[in-house]
Copies of this chain bind each other. A is one copy, B any other.
Amino acid sequence: MEGTRLRILEHLQQENQTVGGLATIMGLAPATVRRHLDILQRDHLVNFIEVRKKTGRPEYSFRLTEEGQESLPKSYDLMLKLMVDEMGDLSQEDMNGMDGQQVLRMVFQRMSAKVAERFSGDMALLNIDERVAGLLGALSNNHFEPVAQNVDGMFQIKLQNCPFRSVAMTNNAVCDFDANMISTGMGVSMTQISCISEGQPCCVYQSVEPMTVDLGV
């Protein structure tokens, strides 16, 4: 994927955009943006809907297709490997009285606990700012494209990419993976207030209690 076109895809992943909107954000001529969009459209990575305005010509709002979403970084291989390993380690007792959905949830929670353990080490020695910095690094390595923000006295972690997107769209048990990774990594309860698998542009996790994190660490 050529540099500019990859950046266009990343912008569209966050929000649908018109040619003019993309040109402004990216500091490019509208004709240049249009040429790249034509190529992306030919390759089935973007499409558009017409937006009628009260006056003047209609505008076109460009957005990613499912194929476009899938062309952004994914971690299906990692997830499958972790899942097969974790499943294989289960004993008969671990699954006692559970149905498949319950076993799935347990497996995703164990997977994320292991990943969280790997990056947080001895968490008791770290303060919250340091924990968040470690968590953001681990989420980045796994292609979640995380952004941390303090909003109205609450702390939020926004995930701009779902590395398991096509699986999450059909079974959100996989969402337990990042939910648990975030709560475990921070040692603080976080609740999901927005989810890609429900059609929203980002997954957002927010602290249950009011809190502010120093983002300069």
Contact = CB atoms under 8 A, between A and B. Distances in A.
A152 interface: no
A74 B174 CA distance: 20
A167 interface: yes
Interface string A74-93: 10110111011111111110
Interface in A97-121: 97-101, 103-104, 107
A107 B87 CA distance: 11
A191 interface: no
Interface in A159-178: 164, 166-167, 170-171, 173-174
Contacts of A89: 100
Given A87-B103, A95-B103, 20 more contacts: A70-B77, A76-B77, A76-B80, A77-B166, A77-B167, A79-B80, A81-B167, A81-B170, A85-B171, A87-B87, A88-B100, A88-B101, A88-B104, A90-B99, A90-B100, A91-B99, A91-B100, A94-B100, A95-B98, A103-B103
Interface of A: 70, 74, 76-77, 79-81, 83-92, 94-95, 97-101, 103-104, 107, 164, 166-167, 170-171, 173-174
